[in-house]
């Protein structure tokens, strides 16, 4: 029998020392990172790059974060690991993540903010699921349940204002007991006490500052956990980088793939905080620990000002509740039949495809979508005719054969709430005994479409 952390018959894990760490930066992109490293503003990541190897990460072709993070953790595609979208929980998981294998071998596991990890594993060293995706705020240890409350408070302050003082005091007290530094709490309190004005710029800046504060708080809590409950393997995710880039990236983009100006500054502040977190985690590790820093995708400016209203699309097809739909970008929708309690679906993939192909723009006389059918879902791209041209608006989308229709501008809604969107190139940095110092990998493909390629080549040493 094996015991965690190396008991009498356990494996040779040195107790009290993490051996491997996976650090996820959601939406981490080399554009802003290289620029910040060149100016000395991301010293922790710069050190890892110098001491290890780095590469572009080529992501999967469906850029939905929970899927990709689970593919990174399991080494499997969604069809095998079972995590499709933001609604999925650990109950949907059908493959072992790398830390499940470590646990089976007698190691201990720490998971912090990783997606699709709710409900938390209560027997692990710690497991704190990604707060925005947690239905009930459960955490291991349970004392970190206040993270969920804090998340709701922030959302409320951003949208309507009005934070309950009593909740605020209780959250602050619990945070303090769990390792939050006083400076972090002051930063959070000042945000919760000063509601953003209605001006778009104020709201964006408030939002970005709140995400920065969250990253700092997470680092406080995680470093305390690493001291008190050191796991053999740690998987942590910094998801605030993605949120801030969605809101601000394209607002001041210069067109070279890097945000600039006032909004670019908000993006940079977020990366600087992410780097500080990495630095603090590295400080808790032995120098020969294996460190993987990876992102699920990169970022680019969102060019479209219109987005597909998924609720109205499902209404038009009369498929609400029978089909799951996700819209990671503006003009693309992922659809798959919803599985009911008995494990079956009331819609087949073929009929779903056929219905989507019957959506027709009139009088332009073109289909609304071009359809990309996968073995287990449909990717519907809005046809360029519907998307780009002003004259397409004022037209009607007809569901042919069903006698239902909708004005095109009600389906393609103007006024994007997002300015940045995902691109398929992310980052990867590896440091540890198995990696040659200073090398740059040619690329690090995630998906099967790259499997035919030769194994990654080592390029000239140096920073990327």
Summarize as ranges the residues that interact with Zn ion (CB under 5 A): 242
H/E stretch holding 353: helix 349-357
Residue 179: CB minimum distance to Zn ion, A: 28
Residue nearest to Zn ion (CB): 242
Q: Based on CB atoms, which residue is closest to Zn ion, 242 or 424?
A: 242
Q: Based on CB atoms, which residue is closest to Zn ion, 49 or 72?
A: 72
Q: Rounded to 5 degrees, what angle do the CA atoms 49, 51, 55 make?
A: 35
Q: Based on CB atoms, which residue is closest to Zn ion, 232 or 245?
A: 245
Residue 319: CB minimum distance to Zn ion, A: 25
Residue 233: CB minimum distance to Zn ion, A: 26
Residue 301: CB minimum distance to Zn ion, A: 14
Whole-number Å distance between alpha carbons of 240 and 171: 20
H/E stretch holding 119: none
Of 39, 25, 22, nearest in space to 270 by CA: 25
Q: Based on CB atoms, which residue is closest to Zn ion, 124 or 242?
A: 242
C-beta separation of 77 from 448 below 8 A: yes
Residue 259: CB minimum distance to Zn ion, A: 15
Residue 249: CB minimum distance to Zn ion, A: 10
Per the document, the length of the chain is 464
* CA–CA distances in Å: residue 193 to residues 52, 161, 174, 240: 43, 9, 18, 21
Burial of 71 (0-12, 13-18, 19+ CB in 10 A): buried
Residue 234: CB minimum distance to Zn ion, A: 23
Q: Based on CB atoms, which residue is closest to Zn ion, 140 or 332?
A: 332
C-beta separation of 349 from 337 below 8 A: yes
Q: Based on CB atoms, which residue is closest to Zn ion, 269 or 300?
A: 300
Residue 242: CB minimum distance to Zn ion, A: 4
Q: Based on CB atoms, which residue is closest to Zn ion, 28 or 337?
A: 28
Whole-number Å distance between alpha carbons of 272 and 37: 10
Q: 342 pairs with which residues across the strands?
A: none
Sheet holding 332-337, edge to edge: 323-326, 332-337, 378-382, 369-373
H/E stretch holding 73: helix 65-74
Q: Based on CB atoms, which residue is closest to Zn ion, 25 or 313?
A: 25
Phi and psi for 272 in degrees, rounded to 5?
A: -65, -40
Residue 210: CB minimum distance to Zn ion, A: 17
Q: 362 pairs with which residues across the strands?
A: 396
Q: Based on CB atoms, which residue is closest to Zn ion, 28 or 137?
A: 28
Quick one: tokens of 358?
């019957």
Of 242, 245, 295, nearest in space to 266 by CA: 245
Whole-number Å distance between alpha carbons of 315 and 327: 16
């Amino acid at each position: 029998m094996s015991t965690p952390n190396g008991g009498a018959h356990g494996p040779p894990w040195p107790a009290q020392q993490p051996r491997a760490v996976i650090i996820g930066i959601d939406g981490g992109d080399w554009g802003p990172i290289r620029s910040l490293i060149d100016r000395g503003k991301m010293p922790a990541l710069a050190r890892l790059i110098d001491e290890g190897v780095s590469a572009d990460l080529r992501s999967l072709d469906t850029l939905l974060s929970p899927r990709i993070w689970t593919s990174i953790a399991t080494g499997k595609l969604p069809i095998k690991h079972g995590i499709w979208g933001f609604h999925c929980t650990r109950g949907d998981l059908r493959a072992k993540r790398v830390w499940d294998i470590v646990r089976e071998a007698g190691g201990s596991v720490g998971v912090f903010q990783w997606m699709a990890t709710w409900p938390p594993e209560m027997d692990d060293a710690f497991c704190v699921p990604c707060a925005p995706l947690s239905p009930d705020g459960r955490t291991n240890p349970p004392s970190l349940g206040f993270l969920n409350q804090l998340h709701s408070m922030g959302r409320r302050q951003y949208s309507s204002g009005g934070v309950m003082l009593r909740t605020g005091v209780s959250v602050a007290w619990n945070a303090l007991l769990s390792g939050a530094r006083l400076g972090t709490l002051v930063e959070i309190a000042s945000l919760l006490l000063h509601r953003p004005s209605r001006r778009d710029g104020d709201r964006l800046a408030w939002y970005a500052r709140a995400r920065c504060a969250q990253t700092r708080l997470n680092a406080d809590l995680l470093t305390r956990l690493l001291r008190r409950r050191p796991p053999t393997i740690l998987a942590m995710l910094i998801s605030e980088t993605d949120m801030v880039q969605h809101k601000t990236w394209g607002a001041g983009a210069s067109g070279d793939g890097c945000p600039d100006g006032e909004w670019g500054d908000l993006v940079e502040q977020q990366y600087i905080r992410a780097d500080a977190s990495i630095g603090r985690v590295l400080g808790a590790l032995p120098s020969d620990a294996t460190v993987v820093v990876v992102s699920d995708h990169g970022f680019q400016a969102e060019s479209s000002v219109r987005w597909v209203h998924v609720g109205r699309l499902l209404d038009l097809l009369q498929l609400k509740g029978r089909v799951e739909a996700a819209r990671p970008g503006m003009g693309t929708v992922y659809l798959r039949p919803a599985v009911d309690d008995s494990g079956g679906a009331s819609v087949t993939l073929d009929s779903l495809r056929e219905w989507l192909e019957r959506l027709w723009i009139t009088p332009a006389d073109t289909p609304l979508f071009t359809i990309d059918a996968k073995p287990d879902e449909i990717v519907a791209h809005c046809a360029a005719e519907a998307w780009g041209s002003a004259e397409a608006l004022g037209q009607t989308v007809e569901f042919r054969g069903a006698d239902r229709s909708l004005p095109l501008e009600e389906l393609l809604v103007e006024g994007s709430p997002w300015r940045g969107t995902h691109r398929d190139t992310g980052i990867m940095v590896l440091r540890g005994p198995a990696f040659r110092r200073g090398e740059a990998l040619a690329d690090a493909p995630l998906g099967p479409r790259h499997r035919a390629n030769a194994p990654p080549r080592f390029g000239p040493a140096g920073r990327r």
